[in-house]
Amino acid sequence: MSRLRTTSGRGTASRVISGIGALFALIEILYILMIVLGANTANGFFRFIQSLAEPLALFFPGLFHTGNYNVDVFLNYGLAAVFWLVVTGLLARAVSRY
């Protein structure tokens, strides 16, 4: 019976880690959409999402310079979103196995 609880705890931890990665990626994607679709940068909601997205993007902003600001944001912040999904997916897999 205790083995069942251990496995269920690992599964829960794995789902939490995956959920955090999905949330981080969602923030990045929302920021991309707001930039590309021309959101009002003075809006409080935009500034809130920006304040979350910029630190979560880590070192990716400035990685690509294409000459088009929207494409740069899409590539740099999109890569950050993929990074969070991959890293948290690998962590979740490791937690669920061990």
Q: Determine the pLDDT at residue 2.
A: 47
Q: What is the pLDDT averaged over residues 64-93? A: 94
Would you say residue 47 lies in a domain? yes
Asked if residue 2 belongs to a domain, the reply is no
Percent of the chain with pLDDT over 70: 92
CA-CA-CA-CA dihedral for 37, 40, 46, 51, to nearest 10: 100
Q: What is the pLDDT of residue 49?
A: 96
- Whole-number Å distance between alpha carbons of 97 and 14: 9
10: in domain: no
- Domain enclosing residue 74, as ranges: 28-97
Q: What is the mean pLDDT of residues 10-28?
A: 93
**What's the structural domain count of the chain?**
1
Residue 82 pLDDT greater than 90, yes or no: yes
Dihedral sign, Cα of residue 34, residue 49, residue 55, residue 96: negative
- Total-model pTM: 0.86
Residue 60, in any domain of the structure: yes
